Every structure is written in structure tokens, then in C-alpha cells.
């Protein structure tokens, strides 16, 4: 283990979370095992090796599936409030390990320590939400047209829920799915990003402790640290009732078609190309704060990151100048240092995409008012640190239509609100959107049928920072899936309509009679 880990206290964090120098990446809730290749987790913070992980092989996959199927037969029979108690205990464990898990998220993924801690808090929040929900998994009672009959509907568990997550939220997205899936009576199999495997192992250690303390069988919660080959098996497997996939639109399209071919269910959380409209009636102070946080938070690697600012021509120059000044004050560096605003990108491949996007923007005619660059020096030795940049563009540029997972912000000018909304909607993605205005008519138009076409539409807050109480997800190439709050629990269950005849007669449909 690198000496550098001791400088940040990461060595103690790893020990507390049960992570060693050499780890195995398959678990059904008990001990870890694995027979695949060895992968290495490097931190984008300093480029140092954190630990090695033996990944899941084909035989490991089949063992996990078999164990999960057996666990489901038992777990589905446990009353929902009792399953809620399991999730309540998970929330308590997460509170106990919040500092350690938040620090690991920050170090392995590269987001700021405060964001890492905030991500763990999201896990706690969704668990709390799910605990209450475990006593509210309701159906409806309907009046039958037939005398002496009662109709109602109820919801049943699906079975095995497969969860495939991305690197940018290495723990929260798992919890959004797992907390709801568990209270609904399902069992889960998690394939995390290969870029953040240690976060998944830490979560599985925490979950395994809860299962053991409750004398529950292995297979209720499983993890597969594996490559895309195992991921493909999970997508193709008919025994996986639901696949929740978070990642690129390109891969999501494949996942959707493969799962649909076998008549499975899928939840897709794909790309975002999010915009904030800044009206002539906006509070400029609020607007600049919201835009900067949305654009540079998590180094622009959130699916809800602000990519575009659509600014009214009358306030365009003021907003632009304020942004340039704000960007000049950003501190870029080690995300474990709370004085820094911006940490690294996830890896050097992401840095290459950042550079290519800047070049393409310039080639298409974009004018950079804050120049981008890859930062050099001892503090940036991982090679993953870049400077957030701003360009004046047209929405029609191909690069603007594309989602780049990096802190590149595009400025676009508009004249009328109808024009701004049309610009906002004129991209393939439809995740998050926002308008900054103190004009009630503008706010209502933005939220109306003629307004934003995104799954999330905000007024006087930015595009990122969604709460777990609301359904999270988007339309168009964002995939149409929903996770987290509201009535999303219904995605994790199958609906059944029941009719009970409590008479001595059997009336037949359409008035048909059989004289038997």
C-alpha cells in the first residue's frame, strides 16, 4: 500500500471499511471470492495505486445467480415492514461509516470530500425514505360491475434486480436502487464501475454485516466487480427480472434492446445535456452561483452537470463577465483539501475527451472566454486535473449536442423565452433543466406543456442537486427511467389484478350462459 495513503489518512479509512491491499471482487453477502483477472484501482487524486482486486469470472457469476435465486425464495416471504427494518439498520451502519465511506468516494473517484460525504448522506436519506415506504406498498380497490364481487390490485416482488452503476456516483446510485428493491422483496446483484471497485466492496462489507446480524441468507445482496463480459451476461440473463443501468446513451441503447428482447424490465439513466435559462428578470447573483456550481461541481462529471447557459441578450454581457471573474477564483487541486473547489477527472482517458472537445468546439467556431488546459506540476501529478473553461457557441454545433463529461460550459444568447425553451429542448438528451427568473409567467411557461421537455425542471435552482424524495430521471436519449423517490417503487414490483366472487353464482363475461 502506497505511503501516500497515510498522508490523507486513507490507510485507516481502508482498514475501517475492510479493504486490503489484495481484494476479491465477488460476494453474495458473506465472504469474498473471485476467479477472474486482477484489476488495479488508482486514485485520480495523486495517481497512486490504492489496492488490487481479483475480478469476477464466469463461474463466480453463476454462483452468484444461484445463490440469489435461493435467497429470493425466502426473502420475498418476509413482511415488507420487516424488510424495512433491514434497510433501517443499513442506514444506521452508513451513519457509522459515513466519514470513512465519504473519504473513500472522494479519493477513489476524485470528487471533493464534501461531495463524497454528501453522496453517503444520499444513501442514508434513501434508506430512511424506503423504511417509511415499506409500510405503504399499497394497491387499489375497484368496484366490480358484477354483484357479489370484489376487485383489487396488489404488487409482488420481481425477483433478482441487476444494478449496473457508473463511476461518478459510485455508491449513491446503488443505494437508490437497492433500498427500494429490498423493501419490495427483491434481491440485488450489483456490478459497479471498474473505475471505482473499492467503493462497492466497502458497501458490500457494510451490507453483509447487516445481513449477518439479522441471520439472513447470503444472496440478498451480491456484488460482482467485473468487466463488460460479465455485465453482458447480467443483461442477457432471463433470471434477472429488472436491469437498472446508469451510463452512456450508447451502452444504454444496447442494454435496452437486449433486455427488451427477453421481455425483461429496465431502468435507464443515461446522458444529460443540461441547460439553465437566465432570464432578463433573473437574480444575477443566484444565477451565477447556480451556474458555477452546476458546471464545475464533481469536475463536470455529473449526469446533471450544467453544460449550457442560455442567457437573455439584455443581461448576457453582465453574466458573462461575472462568470469569468468567478472562474478566475476557482481553486483546483486535491479534493480532500476542503479549500479546493475542483478535483480531478476520473482518469487520463477523460482528460483526452476534454481536450478533443475543446479542439472540436474551436473548429466549429466556438470562442473560449475562459481557456481550458491540462494542469501540470507536482500537485497535479496524476495527470487528471484540468481547468474549467467557458465558450461562446451556437446550440447547433455538433459538440454542443454531445455530452462531454468534463467542466466545459457553453454560453448561448437568446431574445424571447419561447426561443430559449426551444434551444433548451433542441438536444438529444432530456435529463435536467432550470430557469432563473423572478417573473411568475416565465416560470409557469417553463414548467408547462410548452416548456422544458426534461424529466427534471427547476425554477431558481440549478440543474444538479436532486433530492431523493422526487423521482430522478429523464426523457429522450436519457432513457426514460426513474429512480429514487415518489412512486418509483412500482418499477421494482409486478402488478396483479385480483377478483373475488363471494356469491354462489358464476356470472360470465358478455352475459354468456352455459346450461350445464
Residues involved in catalysis: 269, 303
Report the C-alpha gap between 128 and 126 in whole angstroms: 5
Q: H or E stretch including 352?
A: helix 348-364
d(CA 330, CA 340): 8
**Whole-number Å distance between alpha carbons of 56 and 53:** 9
Q: What are the φ and ψ backbone dihedral angles of 501, each rounded to 5 degrees?
A: -100, 115
Distance CA 66, CA 239 (A): 10
Scanning 54-213, the segments in alpha helix (DSSP H) are 58-75, 80-96, 98-109, 113-133, 172-183, 197-213
Q: How far separated are the first and last CA of the chain, in Å rounded?
A: 81
Contact yes or no for 18/206 (Cβ under 8 A): no
Q: How far is CA 459 from CA 283, 295, 406, 468, in A?
A: 12, 17, 24, 18
**Are 245 and 193 contacting, i.e. CB atoms less than 8 angstroms apart?**
no
Q: What is the DSSP letter of 490?
A: G
**Sign of the alpha-carbon torsion through 106, 111, 115, 118:** negative
Question: Which residue's C-alpha cell is 460479465?
Answer: 230
Q: How far apart are CA 212 and CA 80, in angstroms?
A: 19
Rg (CA), the chain: 25
CB-based contact 382:45 (threshold 8 Å): yes
Amino acid at each position: 500500500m502506497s505511503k501516500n495513503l497515510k498522508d490523507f489518512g486513507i490507510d485507516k479509512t481502508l482498514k475501517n471499511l475492510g479493504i486490503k491491499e489484495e481484494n476479491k471482487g465477488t460476494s453474495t453477502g458473506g465472504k469474498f471470492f473471485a476467479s477472474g483477472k486482477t484489476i488495479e484501482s488508482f486514485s485520480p487524486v495523486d495517481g497512486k495505486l490504492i489496492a488490487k482486486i481479483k475480478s469476477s469470472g464466469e463461474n463466480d457469476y453463476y454462483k452468484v445467480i444461484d445463490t440469489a435465486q435461493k435467497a429470493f425464495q425466502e426473502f420475498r416471504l418476509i413482511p415488507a415492514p420487516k424488510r424495512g427494518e433491514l434497510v433501517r439498520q443499513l442506514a444506521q451502519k452508513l451513519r457509522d461509516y459515513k466519514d470513512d465511506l465519504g473519504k473513500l468516494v472522494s479519493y477513489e473517484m476524485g470528487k471533493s470530500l464534501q461531495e463524497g460525504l454528501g453522496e453517503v448522506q444520499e444513501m442514508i436519506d434513501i434508506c430512511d425514505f424506503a423504511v417509511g415506504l415499506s409500510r405503504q406498498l399499497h394497491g387499489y380497490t375497484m368496484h366490480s360491475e358484477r354483484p357479489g364481487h370484489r376487485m383489487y390490485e396488489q404488487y409482488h416482488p420481481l425477483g433478482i434486480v441487476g444494478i449496473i452503476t457508473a463511476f461518478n456516483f459510485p455508491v449513491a446510485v446503488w443505494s437508490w436502487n437497492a433500498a427500494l428493491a429490498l423493501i419490495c422483496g427483491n434481491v440485488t446483484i450489483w456490478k459497479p464501475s471498474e473505475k471505482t471497485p473499492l467503493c462497492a466492496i466497502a458497501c458490500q462489507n457494510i451490507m453483509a454485516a447487516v445481513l449477518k446480524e439479522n441471520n439472513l441468507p447470503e444472496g440478498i445482496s451480491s456484488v460482482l466487480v467485473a468487466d463488460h463480459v460479465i455485465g453482458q451476461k447480467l443483461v442477457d440473463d432471463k433470471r434477472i427480472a429488472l436491469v437498472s443501468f446508469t451510463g452512456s446513451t450508447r451502452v444504454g441503447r444496447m442494454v435496452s434492446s437486449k433486455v427488451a428482447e427477453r421481455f425483461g424490465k429496465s431502468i435507464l439513466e443515461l446522458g444529460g445535456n443540461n441547460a439553465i435559462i437566465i432570464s432578463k428578470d433573473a437574480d444575477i447573483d443566484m444565477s451565477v452561483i447556480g451556474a458555477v456550481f452546476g458546471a464545475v461541481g464533481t469536475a463536470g462529471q455529473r449526469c446533471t452537470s450544467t453544460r449550457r447557459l442560455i442567457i437573455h441578450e439584455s443581461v448576457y454581457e453582465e453574466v458573462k463577465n461575472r462568470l469569468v471573474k468567478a472562474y478566475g477564483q476557482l481553486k483546483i487541486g486535491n479534493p480532500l483539501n476542503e479549500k479546493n473547489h475542483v478535483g480531478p477527472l476520473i482518469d487520463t482517458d477523460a482528460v483526452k475527451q476534454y481536450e478533443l472537445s475543446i479542439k472540436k468546439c474551436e473548429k466549429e467556431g466556438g470562442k473560449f472566454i475562459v481557456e481550458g488546459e491540462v494542469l501540470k506540476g507536482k500537485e497535479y501529478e496524476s495527470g487528471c486535473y484540468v481547468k474549467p473553461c467557458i465558450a461562446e457557441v451556437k446550440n447547433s454545433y455538433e459538440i454542443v449536442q454531445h455530452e462531454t463529461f468534463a467542466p466545459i460550459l457553453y454560453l448561448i444568447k437568446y431574445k424571447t423565452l419561447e426561443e430559449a425553451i426551444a434551444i433548451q429542448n433542441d438536444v438529444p438528451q432530456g435529463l435536467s433543466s432550470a430557469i432563473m427568473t423572478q417573473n411568475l409567467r416565465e416560470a409557469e411557461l417553463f414548467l408547462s406543456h410548452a416548456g422544458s421537455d426534461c424529466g427534471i425542471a427547476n425554477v431558481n435552482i440549478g440543474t444538479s442537486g436532486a433530492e431523493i424524495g422526487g423521482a430522478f430521471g429523464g426523457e429522450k436519449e436519457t432513457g426514460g427511467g426513474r429512480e429514487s423517490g415518489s412512486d418509483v417503487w412500482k418499477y421494482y414490483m409486478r402488478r396483479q389484478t385480483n377478483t373475488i366472487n363471494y356469491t354462489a353464482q358464476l356470472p360470465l363475461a358478455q352475459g354468456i350462459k352455459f346450461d350445464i
